[in-house]
């Protein structure tokens, strides 16, 4: 690492802290701190969504996957665009009018406080595990080619992120995400230009070699769910992004923070339209790297043993001084954007879904203090988890990650049950959750020939990418079965389903027309 690269990274980190300080004075209420008083421009919400979804793992995993194989990992991203275009026009305004700040408030309105707390806890468990894991992987990758201390990287980046999230709330998170979005595109563009302009390999020869070896294929088209074929990834992508856009607080928070329904829809459409090109660009970088090292005659060092190490090595060995720092700054920023977004939404759900339930009469000022404290504590715990992973090389927390993977599933199925089935009540939801937990535990523990629990010929036979999809389908099917033999809930509100919401929108439209005719 050259001094110029280090200075670029330092300048970027100072910029992020400066943004947090700039907006810090406006956070006087929970509404301002957690949803920015619903005043964020749609384009900023869209760029924030991009930065939230494109994590530091994307920087390493996507080029590594394309380098080692093909573009099969891009298939879920295609489903991402399909999901948001198909459900966005209904789901975005629905949530903006049905919930105040927490998406899990909706599950409480449909199925009661117990289901609300379960869904909130399931989300928190999954994201808390992800926070520590992403920070650990980032520090491991960066330390491998810079020589920097893993512990100092984790602690330093974590404390900076906690600081600007704590003082600036969601407004700071979104505007630092905007900065990250621009830096991300700049880093990608520079990398592709450098690869194509290299005197070591001609672009035409690189693309010819890529085409011959089908390195841009989306995977096998055979319907084989035991492998990560095209159809396996379609199934995975549909349910993953359905859950992302209907039951993920980090995404729904962007809906709620926008100035209007139309602004929110435009922002989400912008974010979706930008994510797929970014994923595609990272895949292209991986394929170009594969061709580059085969045509250039440059050998990879013996220390490079995994495909996901190639791109970081290329950054520090082939990029000009300062450019590597630019991309590393984007890599750091991606991890920090993810952590900041998760910290803010974890603070929100702890306030809205738990604190307010047990202390309903406390003032908004006390709720805000608790939320800020939750942000700091969750951030420190995430740092400790990442440090623990670094000291044990991940083995000590393997069982913890398995447990959180089991608990965190099924929220897409729960949303479908709530949104599409008027007859479904609390018992139907709880039964569906119970069956989903049993299935997910069985599938996760017996996966890959029963590494954790060997049931021999009764082990889960299909790819790990199918577990979430089948779990969601089982939850929905169980809930529908219970709903069919149960009376409609007495406290049921029809506007909390798709059918009631559409009827309410039609009625509002008719009233607007009648009012216009009268005038």
pLDDT digits (tens, 9 = 90+) for 244-277: 888 989 889 988 999 998 999 888 888 888 888 9
**What is the C-alpha separation between 96 and 253, in angstroms, rounded?**
9
DSSP state of 40: B
pTM of the model: 0.87
| Number of helical H runs and strand E runs in the chain | 22, 0
pLDDT band, residue 510 (cuts 50/70/90): very low
pLDDT band, residue 208 (cuts 50/70/90): very high
Residue 491 has pLDDT above 80, yes or no: no
CA angle 7, 9, 11 (to 5 degrees): 65
Name 413's Cβ contacts closer than 8 Å, sequence gap at least 6: 432, 436, 471, 472, 473, 474, 475, 476, 479
Tokens of 279: 């994923």
Tokens of 360: 């309903």
Q: Which of 358, 475, 379 is nearest to 421 (CA)?
A: 475
Residue 356 has pLDDT above 80, yes or no: yes
* pLDDT confidence of residue 514: 44
**What is the C-alpha separation between 384 and 387, in angstroms, rounded?**
5
* pLDDT confidence of residue 77: 83
When pLDDT is averaged across residues 164-185 and rounded to a whole number, the result is: 87
Tokens of 471: 């779990």
pLDDT band, residue 512 (cuts 50/70/90): very low
User: Buried b / exposed e across 285-295, counting CB within 10 Å, b at 16+?
Assistant: bbbbbbbbbeb
CA angle 304, 310, 313 (to 5 degrees): 85
DSSP state of 355: I
**What is the C-alpha separation between 52 and 229, in angstroms, rounded?**
27
Helix 42-53 × helix 249-257 angle, to 10°: 170
Greater confidence (2 vs 151) lies with: 151
pLDDT tens digits, one per residue of 417-460? 999 988 888 999 999 999 999 999 899 889 877 777 888 888 98
Domains in the chain, please, with CATH? Answer: 3-396 (1.20.1730.10)
**What is the C-alpha separation between 67 and 96, in angstroms, rounded?**
42
CA angle 255, 370, 387 (to 5 degrees): 85
């Amino acid at each position: 690492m050259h001094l110029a690269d280090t200075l670029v990274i330092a300048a970027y980190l100072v910029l992020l802290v400066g943004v947090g300080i700039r907006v810090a004075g406006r956070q006087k209420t929970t509404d301002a701190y957690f949803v920015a008083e619903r005043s964020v421009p749609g384009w900023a919400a869209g760029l924030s969504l991009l930065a939230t979804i494109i994590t530091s793992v994307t920087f390493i995993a996507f080029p590594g996957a394309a380098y080692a194989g093909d573009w099969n990992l891009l298939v879920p991203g295609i489903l991402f665009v399909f999901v948001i275009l198909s459900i966005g026009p209904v789901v975005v305004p629905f949530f903006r009018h049905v919930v105040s700040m927490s998406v899990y408030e909706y599950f409480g309105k449909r199925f009661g406080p117990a289901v609300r707390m379960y869904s909130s806890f399931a989300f928190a468990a999954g994201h808390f595990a992800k926070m520590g894991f992403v920070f650990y992987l980032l520090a491991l990758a960066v330390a491998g080619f810079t020589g920097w201390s893993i512990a100092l990287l984790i602690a330093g980046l974590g404390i900076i992120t906690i600081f600007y999230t704590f003082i600036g709330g969601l407004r700071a998170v979104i505007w630092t995400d905007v900065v990250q979005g621009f830096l991300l595109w700049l880093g990608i563009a520079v990398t592709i230009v450098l690869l194509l302009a290299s005197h070591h390999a001609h672009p035409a020869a690189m693309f010819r070699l890529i085409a011959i070896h089908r390195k841009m294929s989306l995977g096998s088209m055979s319907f084989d769910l035991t492998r990560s074929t095209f159809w396996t990834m379609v199934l995975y992508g549909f349910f993953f992004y359905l859950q992302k856009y209907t039951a993920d607080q980090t995404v729904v928070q962007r809906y709620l923070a926008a100035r209007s329904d139309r602004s929110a829809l435009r922002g989400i459409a912008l974010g979706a339209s930008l994510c797929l090109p970014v994923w595609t660009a990272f895949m292209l970088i991986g394929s170009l790297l594969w061709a580059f090292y085969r045509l250039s005659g440059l050998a990879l060092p013996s220390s490079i043993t995994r495909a996901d190490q190639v791109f970081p090595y290329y950054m520090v060995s082939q990029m000009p001084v300062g450019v590597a720092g630019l991309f590393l700054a984007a890599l750091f920023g991606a991890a920090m954007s993810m952590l900041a977004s998760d910290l803010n939404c974890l603070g929100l759900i702890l306030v809205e879904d738990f604190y307010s339930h047990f202390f309903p009469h406390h003032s908004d000022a006390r709720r805000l203090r608790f939320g800020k404290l939750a942000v700091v504590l969750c951030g420190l715990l995430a740092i400790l988890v990442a440090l623990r992973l670094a000291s044990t090389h991940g083995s000590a927390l393997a069982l913890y990650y398995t447990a959180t993977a089991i608990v965190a599933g099924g929220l897409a199925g729960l949303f479908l049950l709530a949104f599409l089935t008027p007859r479904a009540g609390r018992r139907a939801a709880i039964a569906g959750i119970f069956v989903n937990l049993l299935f997910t535990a069985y599938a996760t523990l017996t996966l890959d020939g029963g590494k954790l629990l060997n049931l021999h010929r009764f082990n889960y036979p299909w790819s790990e990418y199918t577990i979430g999809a089948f779990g969601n389908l089982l939850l929905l099917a169980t809930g529908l079965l219970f709903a069919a033999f149960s009376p409609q809930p007495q406290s049921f509100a029809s506007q909390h389903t798709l059918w009631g919401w559409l009827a309410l929108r039609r009625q509002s439209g008719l009233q607007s027309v009648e009012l216009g005719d009268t005038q």
